[in-house]
Amino acid sequence: MFRPLVKEDYDIVCDWWKWWRWPMIPKETLPNNGTGGFMIEKNNIPIVCGFLYTSNSKLAWLEYIVSNPEYREDDRQDAIDSLITNIEEFSKSIGIKVLFSIGKSDSLKKKHKKLGWFVDDKPSHEIIKRIQ
């Protein structure tokens, strides 16, 4: 099932980030204070989520895709495909023309490529400055 994130999902997602050795992303830096994204679940078990940053432009940023490390690998991979394609459909429905994402994970890069995304072969760098 594809559904919007709810407030209670944040703690689950933080546990996933911790397991995958990602930094915990503060709620206030996520869209809609941590609820601006989507979850795929099966039999009420959360499997994978991603956040969608939107603005007044026709470009949206899909970021911080993370999955439940305890969920079966075969279903988890299908759920990631489902998350990305459902977010594509949702984005089209709200007038988005371009989806953008940044990724280091080889498996996510391959998955995006398989789903028709352009994946630049030359590495780039995230340039971030915390100003507060």
Give me the number of domains the chain comprises: 1
pLDDT digit string, tens, across residues 10-55 = 999 999 999 999 889 999 999 999 999 999 999 999 999 999 999 9
Domain-embedded: residue 13: yes
**Coil, helix or strand at residue 13:** helix
Cα angle 115-37-61, degrees, rounded to a multiple of 5: 60
Domain-embedded: residue 33: yes
Residue 132 has pLDDT above 80, yes or no: no
Domain-embedded: residue 42: yes
Domain-embedded: residue 38: yes
DSSP state of 32: G
Token representation of residue 120: 């630049």
Give me the residue label for tokens 């546990």. 15
Task: Place 108 in a pLDDT band, splitting at 50, 70 and 90.
Answer: confident
Name, in order, each residue with C-beta under 8 angstroms of 113's C-beta and a sequence gap of 6 or more.
119
List the domain range (segments joined by +) for residue 81.
2-114
DSSP state of 119: -
Residue 111 has pLDDT above 90, yes or no: no
